[in-house]
């Protein structure tokens, strides 16, 4: 990826293999790898998921917690000799919603930053719009915000992959 696309979006459903695929892309770049983590360990199940992700990546990765100020962390950590992996954008949406922050300004600042990054970046996000319509307003708002962000990031990204059952389908680039 050092000579490939500057920004890559990796979409997929829960447990589709998107994080493993994104980590593989980063590893093949042979650049220093930085993991921008948006997940927060709110409960034991999430603590277990985070620990499994860390163990799979190993010690070669530097992890930076970026639950809300994702654009700032991205700008601070991107460099020509480093690849940044953001996992994941949908957890970032959750964090923004829990902080009662306006979505549009955060999304715009983030996607406007993408072409200006000093180095390559990979963004992982859940595709949440393929299932049934959620039965409550908060879940519908989350689905709508995540869909809006995915569209904005896909438009700004150099390359987009959709992962299903561990298999990648290249959508752009």
Residue 89 near residue 121 (C-beta atoms within 8 A):
no
Residue 87 near residue 26 (C-beta atoms within 8 A):
no
Buried b (16+ CB within 10 A) or exposed e, 47-80: eeeeeebeeebeeebeeeebbbebbebbeebbee
Nearest to 111 by CA among 58, 158, 59: 158
Interatomic CA distance for residues 79 and 57, integer angstroms: 20
Interatomic CA distance for residues 160 and 1, integer angstroms: 14
The catalytic residues are 53
Interatomic CA distance for residues 4 and 26, integer angstroms: 11
């Amino acid at each position: 990826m050092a000579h490939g696309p500057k920004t890559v979006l990796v979409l997929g459903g829960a447990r589709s293999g998107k994080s493993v695929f994104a980590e593989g892309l980063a590893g093949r770049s042979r650049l220093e790898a930085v993991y921008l983590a948006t997940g927060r360990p709110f409960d034991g199940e999430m603590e277990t998921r985070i620990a499994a992700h860390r163990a799979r990546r190993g010690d070669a990765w530097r992890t930076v917690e970026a639950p809300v100020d994702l654009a700032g962390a991205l700008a601070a950590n991107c460099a020509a000799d480093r690849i940044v992996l953001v996992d994941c954008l949908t957890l970032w949406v959750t964090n923004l919603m829990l902080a009662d922050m306006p979505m549009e300004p955060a999304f715009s600042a983030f996607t406007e930053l993408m072409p200006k990054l000093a180095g390559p970046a990979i963004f992982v996000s859940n595709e949440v719009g393929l299932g049934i319509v959620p039965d409550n307003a908060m879940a519908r708002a989350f689905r709508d915000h995540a869909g809006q962000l995915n569209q904005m990031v896909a438009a700004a990204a150099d390359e987009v992959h959709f992962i299903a059952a561990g298999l990648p389908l290249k959508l752009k680039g």
